[in-house]
Amino acid sequence: MKIDVLSLFPDMFTNVFGSSILKHAEESGAVSFRVVDFREYADNKHRKVDDYPYGGGAGMVLRAQPFFDAVDDLVKDQKKPRVVLLCPQGERYTQKKAEEFSKEEHLILLCGHYEGYDERVREHLVTDEVSIGDYVLTGGELGAMVIADSVTRLLPGVLGNEESAITDSFSTGILEHPHYTRPAEFRGMKVPDILLSGHHKNIDEWRHRESLKRTWERRPDLLEGKALSEKEQLWIEEFTRKE
């Protein structure tokens, strides 16, 4: 998979793409990262990529030309990629979207600054508009890092244990169950006995129940409209009685 990023501040990505799982993923050939300063594509001698908005108003607007020319250069004769615009007005980013992006061969992430983008970028260049949350950042770089990380870890062979991605919070539609490791007792706090029992069927059921409980307590919105089994419905009734 190829992930290209268009940014005015490419140095921000050096440590992110050069560390930990993302570094190993690129070294293994699962993904290739490229960060491009789209100022290099500006069609003027001062490499200016923004201008005043037509009609007046505060702030500067990013010009369409550098984005279009940069994407044309990155794509050339290749298959059309997903071109993702990072902006507060976009669709809220979710694990489902990460899974969707991970099936693509090529992603191009556009990072903006200033007041916004020329609308022609939205209308004629991008395939997706994405927001990582209901707040405003100084630019799209942090959002691009989030997308690159969340997508890369889903690629085959990137995680040491393939089940890790499958059982993550949100991948199953509910939050992940609690985890414990050695020692079995620490400062008087004990690991639940069932996890030490070696009875895998009972352990799986306990984890499922705890996942549902954690979701019910912390993110009940995830359960709205979700088809629940009879056992899951009984568990929720039990959680409610104990509240």
Annotated catalytic residues are 88, 115, 153, 168
Beta bridge partners of 35: 5
d(CA 216, CA 66): 47
CA distances from 127 to 117, 145, 152, 191, 212 (A): 15, 19, 20, 47, 35
The answer to whether the beta carbons of residues 42 and 8 sit under 8 Å apart is no
Handedness of CA 192, 194, 197, 203 (dihedral sign): negative
| Residue 10 CB neighbours (<10 A) | 18
Peptide linkage before 183 cis (omega within 30 of 0): yes
Beta bridge partners of 212: none
The answer to whether the beta carbons of residues 22 and 33 sit under 8 Å apart is yes
CA atoms within 13 Å, Cβ hemisphere of 103? 5
Cα dihedral 78, 72, 138, 114 in deg (nearest 10): -160
Beta bridge partners of 190: 185
DSSP 1: -
